[in-house]
Amino acid sequence: MTTSDADVPAERVRAAVSERFGTQLAFPAETHGLEKLVEIVEHRSHRSYTNAPIAPELLRLLFACALSAPSKSDLQQADIVHVADRDKVEAITKLIPDMPWISKAPVLLIFCGNNRRIRQIGEWRGKPFANDHLDHFMNSAVDAGIVMTTFIRAAEAVGLGACPISAIRNCPHEVSRLLELPDWVFPVAALTVGFPDHSGHITLRLPLDVTVHENRYDESRAKENIERYDRRRHETQPYRKQRHVKRYGQSEFYGWSEDKARQYSVPERADFGAFIQAKGFRLD
C-alpha cells in the first residue's frame, strides 16, 4: 500500500468533519478502523430511490441486524411493522401531505415502542406490573430509536438509503388504526428505504463546542457559536424556502436558528401526549 492510499480514509474523514462541523480535527492518519468512520461521518439521508425492489430475504436479514442493537435492560421494547400492503402505504402517505414521496419508496417501515410485552409477561408469570410511569414510556421510545438507527446502518452497508419520518406522529390515531396497534404500542418514526437515485448531501451540524461538554454543561459561548453556524448554513446550504412568511415576512439573512425558531413558534403534535395516554400510559 502506498502512503497516498493509506491517507485516503483519513482525508475523507477530515473533509467530511470539516464540511459538517466547520472544524479541523487532528487525529493520527493510521487510526485503526478509519475506513469505517468514513461511512459514519459521511452519513446522508435519502428520500429519492430507484425502482429497484428490495428482496424479502435481504429485508429480513436487515431486521435481524437492527434487532441486534443494545436494548435497555434486555427488555426488547422495539417492534418493526413492515407496511407491505400498497393501499396502507398510500393511506399513510395521504396523512402526511408534505411528503408525497413516501409512497414512492420501495419499502416503508414503522418503528414502534412496545411497553405491552413487559405487561403481558407479568400477567403470564403471575406478577404485578409496578412501573406505570414516564420512564417506561421513554425506555420504549428510545429503544425504538436505537433499533431504527441500527436498521439504517445495516441498510447503508448493503447499498440502500433511508429517511426517518417523525411526521408519522402528526396523525398517531390514524396510523395506529391502520396498523392495528394495541394499547402500549405506539409509532416512534417511519422509515422509507430504497436504493438511492442520487448521492445526497451532508447536513451541516452545530459546532462540537455547542454539543460536547467536559465535566459540566457549558453554554457560555453557545450564542456566538450558533450565530457562526447560522452564517455557515446561510453561505453553504441556504434554505430554499422560509417558514411562516405571512407571519414573519421574508428575512434577508435566514439561518438555522431562524428556521427552527419559526418552526416551533407554531404548535406541532400538541395532541401526541393525549394519544399516548389513550394508549394506556401514565406520564407522571
Q: Which is nearer to a copy of itself, 65 or 104 (CB)?
A: 65
Q: Which is nearer to a copy of itself, 3 or 159 (CB)?
A: 159
Q: Which is nearer to a copy of itself, 153 or 234 (CB)?
A: 153
Least separation in angstroms between CB 234 and a copy of itself = 14
Q: Among residue numbers 81 through 140, which ones bind a copy of itself (CB under 8 A)?
A: 81-85, 88, 112, 114, 116-118, 120-122, 124-131, 133-135, 137-139
- Sign of the CA dihedral running 133, 149, 79, 76: negative
Q: Show the cell assigned to 191.
A: 422509515
Burial class (CB in 10 A: 0-12, 13-18, 19+), 143: buried
Task: Show the binding pattern over residues 23-62: x = contacts a copy of itself (CB under 8 A), - = does not.
Answer: x-xxxx--xxxx-xx--xxxx-x---------x-xx-xx-
Whether residue 224 contacts residue 151, with contact meaning beta carbons closer than 8 Å, is answered with: no
168 counts as binding a copy of itself under rule CB under 8 A: no
Q: Show the cell assigned to 283.
A: 406520564
241 counts as binding a copy of itself under rule CB under 8 A: no
Least separation in angstroms between CB 49 and a copy of itself = 16
- Interatomic CA distance for residues 263 and 265, integer angstroms: 6
Q: How many residues bind a copy of itself (CB under 8 A)?
A: 133
Q: Among residue numbers 173 through 202, which ones bind a copy of itself (CB under 8 A)?
A: 179-182, 185, 188-189
252 counts as binding a copy of itself under rule CB under 8 A: no
11 counts as binding a copy of itself under rule CB under 8 A: no
245 counts as binding a copy of itself under rule CB under 8 A: no
Q: Which of residues 12, 104, 205, 228 is near a copy of itself by CB under 8 A? A: 205
Q: At how many degrees (to 10) do helices 172-179 and 86-95 cross?
A: 170
HSE value, Cβ hemisphere, 13 Å, CA-based, for 183: 8
Pairing assessment for the beta strands 185-194 and 161-165 based on DSSP bridges: antiparallel
Whether residue 231 contacts residue 252, with contact meaning beta carbons closer than 8 Å, is answered with: no
